[in-house]
């Protein structure tokens, strides 16, 4: 992982579901100079419609605001769309990429943050990594990976919860399907891995968070800030993660828990572990996970 070439550049957080992307978002968002809103995904969903449009045209901007207001999950940002439209118009930005980051910057202002390095966190962006690199060549990419067998435990546990949110994740609970999804998602990263992608292992983030966050701050061209380790306290007080998501993200109210590392050894049966390893063994080995055969 190299340092940032452009300190004004922004970044994306990607990772397989239940791998710590929200944990990482909250940690980085607690830095005084970083803003990472909750997931919404509009940057990819609206790209084909607006990538060639001129946003100095009021008609284009009007339609963009209307389409943006319909994006699923964006309501959790609690934005005043009329004020956002004026903010974008006054910024005199012409292209889609710049306007997307203006939406994030406007969110930062609503959270009393000034000029920030901006991040966009979405799990499904894994499928768009080549497109992200094409559209946002100056943006960084932070990819977090977690032992797939622990991911399987989280998927299975999630299936036992009674979640009534309209945003509830739809994830498989059979070990074979979880393994195939995990392999597919992380194989996409392997194909796109280069020196500009910052790889973070969930296990390192929860066992030595200060060291990992220092490394990421270096990557982002920013000084380290102790506040990042207190993300859970701020989440308790200021609800940094939307209440609509908390039924399956309650652990974001707690400090990093190293006991989540390797829990599959006690939660999965030997047969389930063998089945997962038979499907995901090479990818587990690629990322340095042990006992994967």
pLDDT at 256: 76
125 touches 26 (CB < 8 A): no
H-run or E-run covering 55: none
Q: Decide the pairing of beta strands 140-145 and 197-201.
A: parallel
Taking only the tens place, the pLDDT of each residue in 186-233 is: 998 899 888 889 999 999 999 999 999 999 999 999 999 998 898 767
Q: Calculate the alpha carbon distances from 280 to 15, 86, 184 in Å.
A: 16, 49, 9
Q: Is the pLDDT of residue 159 over 80?
A: no
d(CA 176, CA 172): 9
Helix axes 175-192, 148-159, angle to 10 degrees: 130
Q: What structural domains does the chain harbor?
A: 11-33+116-286 (3.40.50.300)
Q: Give residue-wise pLDDT tens across range 262-291.
A: 899 999 999 999 999 999 999 999 999 987
pLDDT of residue 1 exceeding 80: no
Mean residue pLDDT of the chain comes to 86
* Residues 18-38: tens digit of each pLDDT: 889 989 999 999 999 999 999
CB atoms within 10 A of CB 173: 13
**Neighbour count for residue 228 (Cβ, 10 Å):** 24
Q: Is the confidence at residue 97, as pLDDT, over 50?
A: yes
Report residue 9's pLDDT band, with 50, 70 and 90 as the boundaries: confident
Residues in the chain: 293
DSSP string covering 155-199: HHHHHTS----TT------SHHHHHHHHHHHHHHHHHH--TTEEE
Among the residue ranges 6-15, 88-97, 137-146, 149-158, the one predicted with the least confidence is 6-15
What pLDDT score does 75 carry?
Answer: 85
pLDDT-based confidence at residue 4 (cuts at 50, 70, 90): very low
pLDDT at 230: 84
Residue 141: beta bridge partners? 12, 197
- Whole-number Å distance between alpha carbons of 39 and 36: 9
Residue among 132, 127, 133, 136 at smallest CA distance from 186: 127
Q: Decide if 247 contacts 236 (C-beta within 8 A).
A: no
Q: Residue 3: which pLDDT band, with cuts at 50, 70 and 90?
A: very low
pLDDT at 173: 78
Q: pTM for the complete prediction?
A: 0.87
Q: Who contacts 40 (Cβ-Cβ below 8 Å, separation ≥6)? A: 71, 72, 73, 74, 76, 77, 122
């Amino acid at each position: 992982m190299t340092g940032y070439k452009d300190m004004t550049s922004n970044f994306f957080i990607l990772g397989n579901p239940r791998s710590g992307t929200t944990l990482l978002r909250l940690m980085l968002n607690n830095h005084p100079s970083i803003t990472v809103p909750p997931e919404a995904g509009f940057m990819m969903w609206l790209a084909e419609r607006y990538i060639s449009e001129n946003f100095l045209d009021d008609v284009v901007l009007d339609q963009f605001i209307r389409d943006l207001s319909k994006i699923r999950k964006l309501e959790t940002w609690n934005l005043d769309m009329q004020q956002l439209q004026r903010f974008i118009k006054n910024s005199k930005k012409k292209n889609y990429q710049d306007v997307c980051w203006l939406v994030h910057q406007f969110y930062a202002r609503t959270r009393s943050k000034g000029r920030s390095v901006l991040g966009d966190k979405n799990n499904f962006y894994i499928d768009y990594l080549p497109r992200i690199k094409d559209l946002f060549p100056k943006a960084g990419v932070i990819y977090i990976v977690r032992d797939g067998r622990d991911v399987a435990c989280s998927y299975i546990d999630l299936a036992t919860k009674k979640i009534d949110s309209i945003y509830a994740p739809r994830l498989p609970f059979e070990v074979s399907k979880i393994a195939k999804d995990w392999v597919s998602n992380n194989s996409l990263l392997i194909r796109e891995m280069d020196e500009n992608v910052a790889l973070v292992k969930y296990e390192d983030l929860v066992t030595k968070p200060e060291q990992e966050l220092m490394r990421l701050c270096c990557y982002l061209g920013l000084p380290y800030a102790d506040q990042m380790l207190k993300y859970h306290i701020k989440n308790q007080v200021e609800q940094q993660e939307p209440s609509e998501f908390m039924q399956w993200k309650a652990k974001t109210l707690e400090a990093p828990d190293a006991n989540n590392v390797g829990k599959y050894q006690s939660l999965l049966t030997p047969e389930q572990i063998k089945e997962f390893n038979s499907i995901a063994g090479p990818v587990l080995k690629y990322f340095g996970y042990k006992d994967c055969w």
